[in-house]
Structure 1
Amino acid sequence: MPNFKQKEYISTSGAVYTFQHPGVRTVSKINDGAKNKHGIVSEERLSEEILKHVIVQPKMNIDDFTDYKEYSEIINAAYTFITGMEGEQSDLQSGSGE
């Protein structure tokens, strides 16, 4: 099995998380599995898959979070990591997104 890229992420609250890229096929499966029958992404499904396959430390589930802001930040950061979109958001905000 390949050794996938990992990243340490420190949330605004100071909590430390380790993200691991699960591979392109799994990212594709996460995206597909997170959609309902109308093709709309379900936040809960997407979060469950990210917590299962991407956030490797600490192992958590949605119910472990007590603060929605922290939960949202971590899920969004992990999704940005696995989709290769890191840095693009800040580039777009600063106007240097070329």
Structure 2
Amino acid sequence: MANFKQKTFESKKGTTFLFQHPGVRMVSKINDQSKNKHGVLSEERMSELMLKHVIVQPKRTIDDFEDYSEYMEVVNKAYAFITGNDEEEQSDDNEEGSEGQGQA
């Protein structure tokens, strides 16, 4: 069995979460299962799947979040992590940081 990568993420409220990549097949299943019969993304279903399969610590449900903004921040970051979009954000940040260092 493959060794899946993990990443820690700290929300703006200061809560630290551990994300674990569930594998390419599960990411594909999450994308498929998150859509309704018309192919429209269901926020609630996507969130439930992210909380179940990707956000491994602390284990939470949608109802455990006290405010919507933290809930969406965590779910969106977890989705960016499993789809590889968080790496693009990091490389953009690194490029901006290195450009700024060269100017004095």
TM norm structure 2: 0.84
Q: Percent identity?
A: 64
Partners in 2 of 1:87 and 1:58 — Cα distance? Answer: 23
- 1:14 aligns with 14
- 2:44 aligns with 44
Contact 2:20 2:54 in 1 (8 A): yes
Instruction: Give the letter for the 1:22 counterpart.
Output: P
Residue 87 of structure 1: how far off its partner (Å): 4.3
- 2:65 aligns with 65
Residue 3 of structure 1: how far off its partner (Å): 1.5
Instruction: Give the letter for the 2:50 counterpart.
Output: I
Instruction: Give the letter for the 1:25 counterpart.
Output: R
SS of residue paired to 1:86: helix
- 1:83 aligns with 83
**Structure 2 residue 19 is the aligned partner of structure 1 residue 4:** no
Residue 21 of structure 1: how far off its partner (Å): 0.1
Unaligned runs of 5+ residues in structure 2 are: 96-104
Deviations 1:51-72 (A, max 9, x none): 0000000001100001000000
Deviations 1:34-79 (A, max 9, x none): 0001100000000000000000000011000010000000000000
Query: Which has the larger Rg?
Result: 2
TM norm structure 1: 0.89
SS of residue paired to 1:66: coil
Residue 89 of structure 1: how far off its partner (Å): 4.9
Residue 80 of structure 1: how far off its partner (Å): 0.2
- Number of residue pairs the alignment of both structures matches: 93
**Distance change >3 Å, CA 87–CA 3, structure 1 → 2:** closer
